[in-house]
Homo-oligomer: A and B are copies of this chain.
């Protein structure tokens, strides 16, 4: 490793790493206590520094959630877009989108919890306009998949896709509330069962 390399690491990269570490801590705390109910001091305590020190790295408590959520959403849409661009049929697209969602939960669990619990309130703030935009795309994406599935005869025609969409929208992230990476069921398996339940129902045939 050259000195130059080390030098750049000790500035830009190290700074970014520190930020990322602090954000991971903050996300954990926001997720478990709720954003509004979490004090900056609690985040700092969890990070082992003093409250004021957080402001060397971040402008405000708000900018922390902002970064947490936008990082997650950016990555999520990249994954969704990969799926949507691969020319799959409605059913396969459904399966892959769900699978990606559970991978996101695996990777960004606290961010997903925050997204679930707080995005409705945060979206009122212009700064978080991208939350509404994301919500809009999400709806558009899922409705398209469901409608196409109905057209192709893959999905039942007697169900209101608007209704189904709403259930999926909310349920797809719900596992974030209880999922533990170290639990008995891996994300893959949870996704598989979720898909089986939604596609085929829980009745035996």
Chain A residues near B (Cβ < 8 Å) = 33-34, 36-37, 91, 117-118, 120-121, 146, 149, 153-160, 163-164, 166-167, 170-171, 174-175, 177-178, 185, 190, 193-194, 196-205
Flag if A37 contacts B121 (CB, 8 Å).
yes
Residue from B36, B175, B204 within 8 A of A34 (CB atoms): B36
Flag if B204 contacts A201 (CB, 8 Å).
no
A170 and B194 alpha carbons, distance in the complex (Å): 13
Q: Which residues of B contact A121 (CB under 8 A)?
A: 33-34, 37
Closest Cβ of chain B to A73, distance in Å, is 19
Flag if A199 contacts B203 (CB, 8 Å).
yes
Flag if B159 contacts A167 (CB, 8 Å).
no
Knowing that A167-B171, A199-B201 are A-B contacts, what are 5 other residue pairs whose CB atoms are under 8 Å apart, sorted by A's residue number? A160-B185, A166-B175, A170-B174, A198-B202, A199-B202
Q: Which residues of B contact A159 (CB under 8 A)?
A: 193, 196-197, 202
Residue from B155, B174, B193 within 8 A of A202 (CB atoms): B155
Residue from B91, B160, B197 within 8 A of A198 (CB atoms): B197
What residue in chain B is nearest A173 (Cβ atoms)? B170
